[in-house]
């Protein structure tokens, strides 16, 4: 019986992917085979020897100790794109509300007297003049990060009549060509943000992107630029943005990551990390995470891993050996030697690498003795071996 530990609240539709006859699922499961997690930080969590996979029911994995997982032979998967539409919708709405001063206008109306005369034409018209804001049609928007969310943003903004500039150094040439109908790609981050009326970021948070929106890069933007961040808080230097708001450099800021300083600023539209928080997104991410964790536990197939190579194919009739190992010359030969010495014939073999780590699947038509797995595990550089019957 495999055991799945649930951290945070995971949509029931995702948990239903696990066969109750094969899995024990709960929030107090000891020494689990798999973990389902959303945003709960688990950097200090101790992982038991049976833990094989951690499924992040969302895209960001900053709450998971990836290096430690890789060294322990634990596969970490996420759900890219599962919440992309939800993030796109709130980002577009927040940009429009920020440019049109929607929140401040609504607060002004709520502060009106209860007297009927307070809603007369003259009073309402005076508010209209105070909160008048520009349209997005015809404006230039720079989308930094054109992945699952950014590509959807590009299409939506294009359809709303905006001129779309994108920047993503990790996007393949093929994918860039697919998106050419919706945006023009800039050669650099600086080129993308210069001359933009709106700048929105949709990148992961890492050493390269941390604080990429700062005093220096803000100075490169147009005076009166509108800025949006519904990706990760650390991508933007919040104090630099507040200073630019006070100085008039930034006309408005829409964000899912408020700070004490900005929460009362008139030019800021803040939400409490709502971007991916729709019922549809939670279901999508939970189902993706559960299916990927289940496939890895039962078949050794890896889909959407952030720390191991993606390897997935149909099994042969017999046992399957999976090996997580160092990506170095000669490893595959040493493994096949151990198999040949045991008199076994390999039906299918796939080996893929990701940086310094590699993953090998060996399929057989019959059963595999434990001694074969033990001999492979003894090879220097092998991190983890599993035999899946």
Domain ranges of the chain: 1-82+278-308, 84-270, 309-389
- Structure confidence at residue 5 (pLDDT): 98
- Structure confidence at residue 304 (pLDDT): 96
Q: Which fold has domain 84-270?
A: Rossmann fold (3.40.50)
- Structure confidence at residue 328 (pLDDT): 95
- Distance separating alpha carbons of residues 324 and 302, to the nearest angstrom: 11
- Structure confidence at residue 180 (pLDDT): 95
Neighbours of 266 (CB within 10 A): 10
- Structure confidence at residue 108 (pLDDT): 85
Question: In the chain, which stretches have pLDDT less than 50?
Answer: none
Q: What is the pTM of this model?
A: 0.82
Q: Which two tokens stand for residue 115?
A: 């007297």
- Structure confidence at residue 121 (pLDDT): 63
- Structure confidence at residue 111 (pLDDT): 82
Residues forming beta bridges with residue 322, ordered by sequence position:
361, 386
- Structure confidence at residue 116 (pLDDT): 61
Do 84-270 and 309-389 show the same overall fold? no
- Structure confidence at residue 331 (pLDDT): 97
Helices (H), the chain: 12-15, 66-71, 84-99, 102-110, 121-130, 148-159, 173-179, 189-193, 215-220, 238-247, 279-299, 331-341, 370-377
CATH superfamily of this structure's domain 1-82+278-308: NAD(P)-binding Rossmann-like Domain (3.40.50.720)
- Distance separating alpha carbons of residues 164 and 192, to the nearest angstrom: 10
Q: Which fold has domain 309-389?
A: Alpha-Beta Plaits (3.30.70)
Chain centre to alpha carbon of residue 172: 18
- Structure confidence at residue 226 (pLDDT): 98
- Structure confidence at residue 67 (pLDDT): 96
């Amino acid at each position: 019986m495999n055991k799945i530990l649930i951290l945070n609240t995971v949509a029931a539709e995702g948990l239903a992917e696990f066969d109750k006859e094969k899995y024990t699922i709960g929030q107090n499961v000891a020494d689990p085979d798999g973990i389902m997690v959303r945003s709960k930080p688990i950097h200090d969590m101790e992982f038991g020897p049976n833990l094989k996979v951690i499924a992040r029911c969302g895209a960001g994995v900053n709450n998971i100790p990836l290096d430690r997982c890789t060294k322990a032979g634990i596969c970490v998967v996420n759900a890219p794109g599962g919440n992309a539409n939800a993030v796109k919708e709130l980002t577009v709405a927040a940009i429009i509300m920020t440019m049109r001063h929607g929140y401040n206008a609504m607060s002004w109306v709520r502060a009106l007297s209860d007297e009927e005369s307070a809603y007369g034409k003259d009073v309402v018209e005076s508010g209209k003049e105070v909160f008048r804001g520009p349209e997005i049609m015809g404006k230039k928007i720079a989308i930094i990060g054109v992945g699952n969310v950014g590509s959807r943003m590009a299409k939506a903004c294009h359809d709303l009549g905006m001129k779309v500039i994108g920047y993503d150094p990790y996007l393949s040439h093929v994918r860039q060509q697919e998106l050419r109908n919706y945006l023009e790609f800039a050669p650099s981050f600086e080129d993308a943000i210069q001359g933009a009326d709106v700048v929105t970021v949709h990148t992961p948070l890492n050493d390269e992107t941390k604080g990429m929106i700062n005093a220096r890069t803000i100075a490169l933007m147009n005076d009166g630029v509108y800025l949006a961040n519904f990706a990760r808080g650390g991508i933007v230097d919040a104090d630099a943005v507040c200073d630019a708001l006070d100085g008039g450099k930034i006309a408005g800021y829409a964000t899912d990551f408020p700070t004490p300083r900005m929460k009362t600023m008139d030019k800021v539209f803040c939400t409490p990390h709502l971007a991916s928080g729709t019922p549809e997104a939670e279901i999508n991410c939970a189902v993706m995470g559960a299916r990927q964790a289940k496939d890895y536990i039962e078949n050794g197939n890896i889909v959407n891993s952030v720390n191991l190579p993606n390897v997935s194919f149909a099994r042969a009739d017999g046992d399957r050996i999976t090996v997580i190992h160092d990506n170095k010359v000669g490893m595959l030969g040493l493994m096949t030697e151990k198999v040949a010495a045991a008199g076994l014939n390999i039906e299918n073999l796939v080996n893929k690498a990701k940086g310094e780590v590699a993953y090998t699947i060996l399929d057989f038509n019959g059963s595999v003795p434990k001694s074969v797995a033990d001999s492979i595990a003894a090879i220097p550089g092998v991190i983890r071996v599993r035999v899946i019957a």
